[in-house]
A and B are shown apart, each in its own frame.
Chain A
Amino acid sequence: MAKVDWQQKTITAAGAELSYLKGGKGKPLLVLHEELGNPGWLAWQRKLAEDRKLIVPLHPGFGVSPRIDWMRTIGDLANYYAQVMVEQDWVGADVIGFSLGGWIAAEMAAQNPGQFASLTLVAPFGIKPPRGMIRDIYEVPTEDYVAASVKDIAATPEFAGLFGGAMTPEQFERFQDATAESARLAWQPYMSNPALGNRLGLVRKLPTLIVWGEDDAIAPVSAAALFHAAIRGSKLALIKDCGHRPEIEQTGKFLKKLKAHLS
């Protein structure tokens, strides 16, 4: 596999400073990261960046891009990113969102499905699962939450390198920033928007793929059917022997589904 470099850029967009990671060449794919911040530049990204341009905005307030004071909901953050897409000429990009990032992508699609060429949601938050609850990030040490995010740590080589792999004081601070901003935007209702399922009724022609690990211990897989029903024409890919991180737990299967969807 050819080594594909990535770089971090900082821009002023929609009235605020925003940093993002950029790597690869080709049609742009917007990658929206999870609630703990960006976990790293992973194998699936290196592979995809061989023929796609990946744009990974570092959410405002999650430890790198400064917090934006007017935001109080995930819908606000979705609106901010929609403004950034217009300003940066990213409209028409594909989008993929993971966990909380999946929720942001779903909110953006519900606000304006036309801004994307396609939508991919990986174990997204945003719709309250009918069975089980989204795991609470605020009542446990962050390490415990990260450990619960994969089904089998020993069978997941990339797990050890997530978020740089060590709880250094700098990483502790970044986690505190990220979870604080998650709390600010999604404390209650916890990690969901009761209206999102209905609001997704606006999404009618957007090619959509929903990917979910069958053994997800963070976002219960029971919510997958609700997303699937809410987004017309969406495809649902349930992955066996997989927790909340299909992209590192079942990278091969994940990439196969994603590439087929994006092609």
Chain B
Amino acid sequence: MRTLELDSLVIGGGAAGMAAAVECAERGCKTVLVEREASTGGVLNQCIHNGFGLHVFKEELTGPEYAHLFQKQMADRGIDVHPDRFVLKVDPQKKEVITIGASGATCYKPNALIMTTGARERSFANLRIPGTRPSGIFTAGVAQRFVNLQNRLPGKKAFILGSGDIGLIMARRLTLEGMEVLGVAELMPFPGGLARNISQCLDDFDIPLYLSTSVVEVHGKERLNAITLARFDPGTGKVLPGTRKTIEVDTLILSVGLLPQNELIEDFCEVDAINRGVRVDSMMRTSNPWIFAAGNNVTVYDLVDFVTLDAKFAGQMAATIIKGGRLAQSAIPLKRGKNVGAMTPGKVCAGGNPFTIFLRSRKVMEKGRIELGPGLLSRVHMGIRPSEMLEVKVTQGHLEKIQQMGWKELTISLEEVEA
């Protein structure tokens, strides 16, 4: 087995990994990015629609374009990308990473490890929907790959379960490519995807969105031939009697959530139960100081731009350590108050750099107040949606106040206010 000593190792070459690698290399670190696929870019490669890059590049790009800009930055900085290489084990004691690829096994010994392993799609089986197990049921990402990269439609007549962004995007895509899309069902009383996608992918194509509705049974022995839908009482979560309806489709596309992937480190790094991702502090460190993390393996972001921004920051922080700098050690917990769902970071280093809190509301609010307390920040926001992340910038001034006051924890909460 080959051994390779280096400054920083980035695992996963999606949006987060590319951004983190660029920042490390920019600061003179010998950086390698390990990617399990043949090329970097991750899911961006199959997202041929536009809407990426408004925050980072100040223009609307497609996924492949967005990825390409980072691939070019990596090439310009001489970053070694090791594609088609799969990580078998992260050893936090020996501080090494064992991988396998077509040229054999390699052991990397980096001074800092950056985990950017992203998320995977929640599977149909995980939903425990009763019925048969025919072909014709695809997660939206798999369907997207078939259509956009392998040039194949998944079927003729589709229904979409879950209103996550990729499901909405696929509703439009399949319609444009000649499939019939009968509708989108969402179990929650509000959509899971961005408002702009509801408008551009469903409304513009007259595809109905059924809220508080889900698939309760699938039918068909060999190929899917029908699904049964039912409406749910949002209060009790139970099926409303008399609302079951069976419709004929040969394809069911699922967009029912993304799950952060941390199998390599979850045995020794803290995981946040709500985000279901690895917990980082405001310096992007996991509970193991050798390991940094950023992107959808921390929490599922709404926009790739935010992934990029957090991952850049993680790259900068890792580079600081590698170059012999010190990062603030002590961190106080950042707790969720009322109405806060997914949120990162989980801890705040008052002696560290300014940073951004990304969070999701648990409910739709026409007008809401974000409070970071005790008494640090209070701000009113319009049109709060669980599908869209809120950004809260924590400044140098805020950090100084936290230190002055000697607070032992912070809480962030959301309160609905009269519109």
Partners in one complex: no
